[in-house]
Amino acid sequence: MFLRWGRLIAAHSRLVLILSVISLVASVAALLLIRPELQQNALVSDDAESMQVATALADRFGRGENTIIFLVDAEGPVSDPATERRIAAAFAPLTPDNGVIRVISVLNTGDPDFVSLDGRSTYALALVDADGVRNSADLVTAVEDSAAAQGLVATATGATVVNDDVTVAVEEGLIRAEIIAIPLTIIFLVLIFGGLVAAGLPLVTGAVGIVATLAITFAISFVTPQSVFSLNLVTMLGLGLGVDYSLFMVSRFREEIARRPVAEAVAVTVATVGKAVFFSAITVMFGLSATFFFPMPTIAQMGQAGILVVGMALVYGLTFLPALLAVLGPRVNRYGVRLPDLGPRAGFWHTLAGRVMRRPVAFLVPIMVFLLVLSIPLLALNLTPGTINIVGSDSPSRVASDRLQNEFTGNGGNTIPVILTASDGDALSASSVAAGTAFAERIAALPGVTGVDGLTTGALVEAIPYDWSGYGGDPSELPFLLRQALPALVDGDATLLQVAFDASPTDAQTIVEDIRRLDVGGVSPMVGGDAAFNVDVRSGIIDALPVALLFVFAGSYLILLLSFGSLLLPVKAIFMTLLSITSSLGIVVVVFQQGLGQDLLGFTADGQLIATTPILMFCVLWGLSMDYEVLLLSRVQEEYVKSGRNRESVALGIENTGGVITGAAAIMIVVFGGFVIAEVTVIKSLGFGLAVAVLIDATIVRCLLVPATMRLLGRWNWWAPVSVQRAVDRLGFGPEGLPAPPPSAPPAATPAD
């Protein structure tokens, strides 16, 4: 099947290249013309309770995801009448013409929580519509300029502003990563191939796949939202896998062109490495498709982008690249570069495999223990949605957010919002107010809770004293200042409570769960905020994990069964891959959750790991680990079909692929490692984790564990019932009989430079 495909591509190579160039031009045009719709904060579905609260906060109380928070600093007390007038003038741009629906501040509520503890700073909540979100950068600039004209300093934060900061940081990080990764990749490719033409082919193929994927992603963003982090993932995987696959293809073609005509060399390359690339890419895409099981839009969007870029790497790797090789022929070796021999000496990989297979248990046991020890920190995994911490600590939005938490009563909004829905449909009825008061008292009695601010409790009652026990259900009875504060706390059947706490993030999640379990007649609660968001993220992961793992294990087993026609090799591969992933995730927990090396990497650990990191690492690494497994075992199987000798086949397979796998892994590490310099912690942790995992996988697992386990399994490596082998052969996936090279054919000459 793959042999015929290779011959077809070789026969129509120029047509394939023309079609590839047309697709590239169309992709570039799309990138220039399309402005994508990207988002960054969608870790749980809209049906999650925390998201329902976020929507209600925005739509009903002027707070939430579509809220821009403006922090204003004055030289004197905010309560001074002259300062109040200057603050009001600073907020002048917050009008409906600029997309602002409502503004809530100390000026129209009298709520002391809007004033800092030193009395010299205040903040306002500006609820904006879709236009306000789209033009938030202009609105922020307008308020900053207006405040400066009044002698004040304004700084903006909130989800909308953070989203803008993340988008800018992602784009800047992408450029910085490429500036580092691409030159180093070129250097590694030249070192591996010793020639400029051969070194350029993987980079060109990877770049074409990335451009095509970005164009498709941009177009899809008009149909369904796409994550801003998808851009980084596309570049990571596109450059890494595109170069990876092409590296193996070009290496095998150079091996074959020395003993076959060009067309046959292309066909054999596709039939061997091309087949391995096909199953490797399918496995990577299969692993990434597990992201769809998690009720987390951002994860699914990144998984979708990853599947697209792997698919493009596969399409161009099995069409564009072999067609280019067919046109180049022996010229693939042109512009050779004389380089010092920096790699292992000839026979190193064969010797290493032989030593491991002579004492397989002596290698297998300590290595497995070592990897299991590295996996132990994973047991302490503590997930967080990320929120404001995903941007750099010196970002203005991050600084403003930190100040709101530290300088304002109730931590400046760093509270647990609870929306109480009245059973009788009227939050201001006497019975609903009484029930809400009782509920607030129950919350205040929970461990870790330091106070509850609401209509009848907390700071508002202290600022505007009123005896609620005599309230008869008529809002007109309330004092004027209290009636002014109602829109920020009451809307129809809903009342807003803000629960202050003095607890760690983990204990805050316990408070959320305790509140959700409370039962007071007359009102029903919905709990939101970061802690509730965290609870919902964790619940979504726990609920989806068993099904996702079953899907990945079963699907990977089937793919590997079709690839090798063996019942036991897929089991071994799955076990090895799990060891590789859990050990690398353990290292990520130690670094990014516990803070080992945080100063060196330029971030501040807070005892939590961003939820996207372990899920994406698992899904991506599942495919990447299988990538090297498939490419290595394909060559081992090729040798085994020839000789039928297990030990010699393993040694030859590792000898023929060890150098290429090491080079490919080095390039992968460079590509992934380039993203460690990103300002956004999500990308930094993902790049670091993937680089560490590839290092472990390409060295400890492939070079030591694989030969040890294959030596112990012996002939059982390739065993399967005859019926299974026949089914694999009928599907066209079994080992193909390769044409023998012409016995008298001289090696293909290398054209002079």
Give residue-wise pLDDT tens across range 387-433. Answer: 566 676 678 888 888 888 788 875 554 678 899 999 999 988 989 88
pLDDT score of 322: 93
In which residue are the tokens 């599942």 written? 622
Assess whether pLDDT exceeds 50 at residue 130: yes
* Mean local confidence (pLDDT), 481-504: 84
The CATH code of the domain that includes 54 is 3.30.70
pLDDT score of 591: 92
By the 8 A CB rule, do 689 and 675 touch?
Answer: no
Pairing of strands 609-610, 383-384: parallel
* Mean local confidence (pLDDT), 440-450: 90
pLDDT score of 147: 93
Domain span at residue 494 reads 424-521
In which residue are the tokens 């450059």 written? 239
User: Of 521, 549, 577, which residue sits at a domain end?
Assistant: 521
Assess whether pLDDT exceeds 50 at residue 752: no
Q: Is residue 315 very low, low, confident or very high in pLDDT (cuts 50, 70, 90)?
A: very high
By the 8 A CB rule, do 73 and 121 touch?
Answer: yes
Considering the domain architecture, whether residues 95 and 79 belong to the same structural domain is answered as yes
Q: Is residue 742 very low, low, confident or very high in pLDDT (cuts 50, 70, 90)?
A: low
Task: Report how far apart, in Å, the C-alpha atoms of 727 and of each of 200, 562, 566, 588, 733 are.
Answer: 40, 9, 12, 42, 9
Residues in the chain, overall count: 753
Assess whether pLDDT exceeds 50 at residue 748: no
Give residue-wise pLDDT tens across range 405-416. Answer: 788 875 554 678
In-domain check, residue 87: yes
DSSP state of 101: E
* Mean local confidence (pLDDT), 301-330: 91
Q: Give the C-alpha separation, 642 to 50, whole Å.
A: 61
Q: Is residue 51 very low, low, confident or very high in pLDDT (cuts 50, 70, 90)?
A: confident
Considering the domain architecture, whether residues 589 and 639 belong to the same structural domain is answered as yes
By the 8 A CB rule, do 321 and 332 touch?
Answer: no
pLDDT score of 122: 93
pLDDT score of 66: 67
Closest CA to 343 of 180, 193, 184, 185: 193
User: Of 110, 133, 159, which residue sits at a domain end?
Assistant: 159
Q: Which long-range contacts (CB under 8 A, 24 or more apart) does 288-293 make?
A: 288/619, 288/620, 288/623, 289/551, 290/548, 290/549, 290/551, 290/552, 290/618, 290/619, 290/622, 291/615, 291/616, 291/619, 293/544, 293/547, 293/548, 293/551
In-domain check, residue 526: no
* Mean local confidence (pLDDT), 713-723: 84
Range with the poorest average pLDDT among 237-246, 538-547, 696-705: 237-246
**pTM, whole model, 2 decimals?**
0.74
Mean pLDDT of the chain: 83
Considering the domain architecture, whether residues 232 and 282 belong to the same structural domain is answered as yes
Assess whether pLDDT exceeds 60 at residue 749: no
Residues 6+ apart with CB under 8 A from 432: 422, 423, 424, 426, 493, 495, 522, 523
Range with the poorest average pLDDT among 35-39, 98-102, 125-129, 537-541: 35-39
Q: Please report, for the chain, how many H helices and E strands are present, in that order.
A: 29, 13
Give residue-wise pLDDT tens across range 371-382. Answer: 999 999 999 888
Query: In this structure, what are the phi and psi dihedrals at residue 81, rounded to the nearest 5 degrees?
Result: -55, -40
Considering the domain architecture, whether residues 180 and 308 belong to the same structural domain is answered as yes
In-domain check, residue 454: yes
User: Of 142, 159, 176, which residue sits at a domain end?
Assistant: 159
Position with higher pLDDT, 186 vs 45: 186
Q: Is residue 516 very low, low, confident or very high in pLDDT (cuts 50, 70, 90)?
A: very high
Give residue-wise pLDDT tens across range 55-114. Answer: 888 778 766 556 789 999 998 898 899 999 999 999 999 988 888 877 888 888 777 878
In-domain check, residue 65: yes
Neighbours of 403 (CB within 10 A): 18
pLDDT score of 737: 54
Pairing of strands 494-501, 416-422: antiparallel
Position with higher pLDDT, 503 vs 332: 332
Considering the domain architecture, whether residues 71 and 197 belong to the same structural domain is answered as no
In-domain check, residue 738: no
Give residue-wise pLDDT tens across range 85-95. Answer: 999 999 999 98
Considering the domain architecture, whether residues 575 and 513 belong to the same structural domain is answered as no
Considering the domain architecture, whether residues 215 and 112 belong to the same structural domain is answered as no
Considering the domain architecture, whether residues 351 and 248 belong to the same structural domain is answered as yes
Cβ-in-10-Å burial (0-12, 13-18, 19+) of 291 comes to buried
Considering the domain architecture, whether residues 513 and 658 belong to the same structural domain is answered as no
In-domain check, residue 751: no
Using only C-alpha atoms, the chain has a radius of gyration, in whole angstroms, of: 31
Assess whether pLDDT exceeds 70 at residue 538: yes
Considering the domain architecture, whether residues 686 and 580 belong to the same structural domain is answered as yes
Considering the domain architecture, whether residues 233 and 129 belong to the same structural domain is answered as no
Give residue-wise pLDDT tens across range 186-235. Answer: 888 888 777 788 888 888 888 899 999 989 888 888 777 777 777 777 88
Task: Report how far apart, in Å, the C-alpha atoms of 571 and of each of 23, 568, 575, 705 are.
Answer: 40, 5, 6, 14
Q: Which residues partner with 490 through β-bridges?
A: 495
In-domain check, residue 291: yes
Cβ-in-10-Å burial (0-12, 13-18, 19+) of 373 comes to exposed
By the 8 A CB rule, do 252 and 269 touch?
Answer: yes
Residue 492 CA to its chain's centroid (Å) = 40
Q: Which residues partner with 72 through β-bridges?
A: 122, 154
Q: Give the C-alpha separation, 210 to 366, whole Å.
A: 40
By the 8 A CB rule, do 420 and 525 touch?
Answer: yes
| Element holding 120 (H helix, E strand) | none
Give residue-wise pLDDT tens across range 651-662. Answer: 888 888 887 788
pLDDT score of 144: 93
pLDDT score of 714: 85
* Mean local confidence (pLDDT), 511-530: 89
Q: Give the C-alpha separation, 621 to 609, whole Å.
A: 18
Torsion-angle region of 717 (φ positive above 0: left; ψ -120 to 50: alpha; else: beta): alpha
Assess whether pLDDT exceeds 80 at residue 678: no
Number of domains in the chain: 3
As a whole-number percent, the residues of the chain with pLDDT over 70 amount to 90
The CATH code of the domain that includes 277 is 1.20.1640.10
Q: Give the C-alpha separation, 314 to 117, whole Å.
A: 59
pLDDT score of 272: 85
Considering the domain architecture, whether residues 155 and 174 belong to the same structural domain is answered as no
